[in-house]
Amino acid sequence: MIPVTAYKGRRVAVFGLGRTGINAARALLAGGAEVSAWDDSEAARENAIKAGLELDDLNRRDWGDMAVLVLSPGIPLTHPAPHRMVSLARAVGAPVIGDVELFAQAIADTPGVTVIGVTGTNGKSTTTALIGHILKSAGRDVRVGGNIGDAVLGLEPPRPGAIYVLELSSYQLDLIESLRCRVAVFLNLTPDHIDRHGDIDGYRLAKERIFANQRDGDTAIVGVDDEPSRSVCTRLKSRAGLNVIPVSSQRLVSFGVYALAGKLYDETASGGGARTVMELHRAQALPGSHNAQNAAAAYAAVRALGVSISDAVAGIASFPGLPHRQERVGEAGSLLFINDSKATNAEAAAQALGCYHDIFWIAGGQAKSGGIESLHPYFRRVRKAYLIGQDAALLRKQLGGAVPHDMSGTLERALQNAAMDAAESGYRRPVVLLSPACASFDQFKSYEHRGDTFRALVKDLLERATKGDAA
């Protein structure tokens, strides 16, 4: 845990007692603050009490002595309307910040600490984890967290030379004031969280805050495969002293890093000219063009911190991937099993469907708006679909006659049927792909629970197969 001493002896309100809120309250208490912690959810309050916190109902107390409000990132700051706690804080002139800003204050006095921030609509988690993996493999003192893994204040305390690699959501960036990212990565921007930010411009402005406190010599890495991000890159290039590196998986970019035709190129050298740095097929955990952009961004980020080309390439090649994101969970001869349970909507499932051919696709659960209508361009890659969960009938209707399908109902039955059909298909490299394009809560506690169940079922199936008990 990282103690926060900036509010020693002062009263601080912490509202929202999920993972980040509990860690923020603990860090403030460790730093000597007087903490008034509250959540409107009874379940969250019970969890906070179990975690050792004393509660103070912020709806009933006088706010006159509040130095600051630490707000959970999921609570509305501006849209569709400020939460009442935000209004109470503003009424007494108390700043409204988040746990990432507390982190920025806590590390400010430790020399030699570096922060790499990663944001974007898609790819944040993979890129953050990949950067952390490369740095760790290269022998650096690195800690990874934020919107992935551990809450930022739950990470190890700073010491000179430490590198923090943080996934930063738009919600978190809305609540920072002083965070300086020596390396800031902005991957892409597509419409999302409009209800929280008002419109696409509000969403973009929140994301762009990752660059707000960068100084001369710092590095901004920007994906340029979508128009809003290209505009961000152009604006940043007008800032004197900032090292701006464009990255792409679709085109050659001058003075940038890009992936084309299965190769990663570096054109950042001062002398100009592109250098081929690796064949991307070596990175088996990073299939598809979206992951090629993630690899380009991670490569640019670690090179900005002086990691050698050979160490950067070795780290990309050895990256094991993230659980539930196109995770390879088993093989049987040429048959491959992929856990992409994190794909809880059609847009996410498209990333996986675009990476493979001869797919035996397990899909279903609680469908999002539009179901799988947008996935029609990928149906030609699917040999058969195995539908599960609450909205299997809707998905069957949307598949129509384009894809043969089986109303499997349960994940276990779907896996059994898909594995048998794939094994008997005769295709050179068939893939049993769990990429549900649906939420999981009809049959599972979470997408993680769904993915863990799939992984365990695959393991059991392969073990039985080796003993001759399964086809």
Taking the C-alpha atoms of residue 114 and residue 122, their distance in angstroms, rounded to an integer, is: 24
Instruction: Give the active site residue among 23, 83, 122, 124.
Output: 124
Instruction: Give the active site residue among 193, 263, 384, 449.
Output: 193
Taking the C-alpha atoms of residue 51 and residue 46, their distance in angstroms, rounded to an integer, is: 9
Question: 1 near 27, Cβ under 8 Å?
Answer: yes
- Alpha carbon 138 to its chain centroid, in Å, reads 23
Active site residue 124: yes
Active site residue 193: yes
Under 8 Å CB-to-CB from 133, ≥6 apart: which residues? 315, 318, 319, 320
Question: 305 near 312, Cβ under 8 Å?
Answer: no
Taking the C-alpha atoms of residue 349 and residue 359, their distance in angstroms, rounded to an integer, is: 12
Strands 382-388, 359-364: pairing kind: parallel
Question: 309 near 288, Cβ under 8 Å?
Answer: no
Question: 112 near 160, Cβ under 8 Å?
Answer: yes
Question: 247 near 257, Cβ under 8 Å?
Answer: yes
Instruction: Give the active site residue among 23, 147, 188, 339.
Output: 147
Q: 3-state SS string over 365-394?
A: CEECCCCCHHHHHHHHHEEEEEEECCCHHH
Task: Point out the residues that are catalytic.
Answer: 124, 147, 193
